[in-house]
Amino acid sequence: MPIHLERPVTILRDAGSPLWFPFLARTPQGGLQLSLQHGWDSHFAPQYQYRSADGGRSWQGPTQSVPRLAWGHSFADGERLDLDTYGVPVAGRPGEALLLAVWSRPDQPNAPVERGFARCQVPGLGELPLTGLGGYPSFPWRNLWQEAGRTEEFRRDEFVTLGPCVTGGMELPDGRLAVVGYWQKHGAPPNHWGAVVMISTDRGRHWQQVGTLSPNLGDPQPSEVAMTRLADGRWYVVARMEHPPCPNLHHAWSEDQGRTWTPLRPLCLAAGGPAAGHVWPGLRVLANGWLALTCGRPGKQLYFDPSGTGTQWQHHVDLHAWELDTQAVLGVSPELRLRGVVGRPYGQPIDRQTDSGDYLDCVEVAPGELLVVYDVQGYVEHWNAAPVVSAVRMVSIKVTP
């Protein structure tokens, strides 16, 4: 299978504010929306959106929908849903979480924007106090707690979260939305993660939990989870695993629309051995029925499954190596190139602040044509370039079956 990679290009840069965690999406009329966190990797850091109408050649922004985007979806009629990362418990309603949400029409700049709340019934998730998170909520997150039934001034130890942090989802053939989100597992010790599947029948205003990936307290703990619907109707997830500590992604299938799942097992390649990369899996179903998977740490990885089943992962593209090769072609000395965590033992501390967070995302902009984005920190682009504090790189990839 021929795979052609264009050289990476810098699409955004910032000399003062670190750019993290790029999310890339297509709008219904073919535009691109890029969401970026501004600030170091910390809870409650704000996130902003940039838009491109020319295939990523130029970008306008920043604007903001929700404070820190967790997941979004573009409907065929032009409406866009954005969900914030943080949910809070509703007073007097156990198991109900409230999230900030925005419904907009990005292809119609003058269209009204609805800012509101998404209500989630998530009995499988538990409360986590703010003291268990790194960061502090400022406006506009504070109105979440007020809307949920508290009006007095808060002390730090009185802020409580309930998730779910949504990291994957899709629109179903009947118009419903299905997502997967993680947070503290109900009834578990602190920082014991669980992931639940939720359904919405009203475009994301209300959500109902229908299933759990690891239902038992002793099960492995997934956090960041990507989810998609396969051609045969099964649902498929790829998950980062938090405990027991695991350097490899796991995957599972559901035959009953997310209610029950096969056990999470390591994701291995068709040729044998586990796939590289263990954070932030991203799944896309391509126009030809193939699956594409992006993930990071070590490096920046892209895989394809021509079978479209999640069982035949192959055709590995090492985007970290391609980036290093590009820096070499442009004359960047070896000591100034990206380092990544390639070859380092799992769990060894890494310096993301001066290298890369290794979080990737991709979209298919035309049949067989992908755009992949990732962040770089302290990046040197060519032999005569001054380092930039932070930038976003984009690679165009063409796949010919």
The structure tokens 């709340």 sit at: 117
Omega within 30 of 0 (cis) for the link into 244? yes
* 41 contacts 352 by C-beta, under 8 angstroms: yes
Q: What's the pLDDT at 371? A: 98
Residues 195-209 pLDDT 10s = 999 999 999 999 999
Residues 60-116 pLDDT 10s = 999 999 999 999 999 999 999 999 999 999 988 999 999 999 999 988 888 999 999
The rounded distance, in Å, linking the Cα atoms of 121 and 170 is 18
pLDDT band at 179 (very low <50, low <70, confident <90, very high): very high
CATH dotted code for 3-399: 2.120.10.10
Region 9-15: mean pLDDT is 92
Region 117-137: mean pLDDT is 90
pLDDT surpasses 60 at 148: yes
Region 129-154: mean pLDDT is 80
Q: What's the pLDDT at 127? A: 92
Region 213-234: mean pLDDT is 92
Residues 23-47 pLDDT 10s = 999 988 889 999 999 988 889 999 9
Q: What's the pLDDT at 383? A: 95
SS3 string of the chain? CCEEECCCEEEEEECCCCEEEEEEEECCCCCEEEEEEECCCCCCCCEEEEEECCCCCCCEEEECCCCCEEEEEECCCCCEEEEEEEEEECCCCCCEEEEEEEEECCCCCCCCCEEEEEEEECCCECCEEHHHCCCCCCCCCHHHHHHCCCCCCCCHHHCEECCCEEEEEEECCCCCEEEEEEEEECCCCCCCEEEEEEEECCCCCEEEEEEECCCCCCCCEEEEEEEEECCCCCEEEEEEEEECCCCCCEEEEECCCCCCCCCCEECECCCCCECCCCEEEEEEECCCCCEEEEEECCCEEEEEECCCCCCCCEEEEEHHHHHHHHHHHCCCCHHHCCCCCCCCCCCCCCCHHHCCCCCEEEEEEECCEEEEEEEEEEECCCCCCCCEEEEEEEEEEEECC
Q: Look up residue 346 and give its two tokens.
A: 């799992």
The rounded distance, in Å, linking the Cα atoms of 369 and 382 is 26
The rounded distance, in Å, linking the Cα atoms of 340 and 104 is 37
**Cα 341 to the chain's mean position, in Å?**
20
Q: What's the pLDDT at 344? A: 65
Over pLDDT 70: what percentage of the chain? Answer: 96
Q: What's the pLDDT at 34? A: 96
Region 153-170: mean pLDDT is 85
Q: What's the pLDDT at 22? A: 95
Cβ neighbourhood burial of 274 (10 Å; 0-12, 13-18, 19+) = middle
Region 271-295: mean pLDDT is 94
Cβ neighbourhood burial of 137 (10 Å; 0-12, 13-18, 19+) = buried
Pick the more confident residue, 102 or 133.
Answer: 102
The rounded distance, in Å, linking the Cα atoms of 214 and 242 is 12
Report which of 6, 79, 13 is spatially closest to residue 50, judged by C-alpha positions. 13
pLDDT surpasses 60 at 343: no
Domain extents for the chain?
3-399
- Beta bridge partners, 369, equal 366, 398
Q: What's the pLDDT at 345? A: 67
Residues 345-395 pLDDT 10s = 667 777 777 889 999 999 999 999 999 999 999 899 999 998 888 999 999
Contacts of 341 (CB under 8 A, 6+ apart): 297, 298, 299, 348, 350, 358
How much is the mean pLDDT over the chain?
91
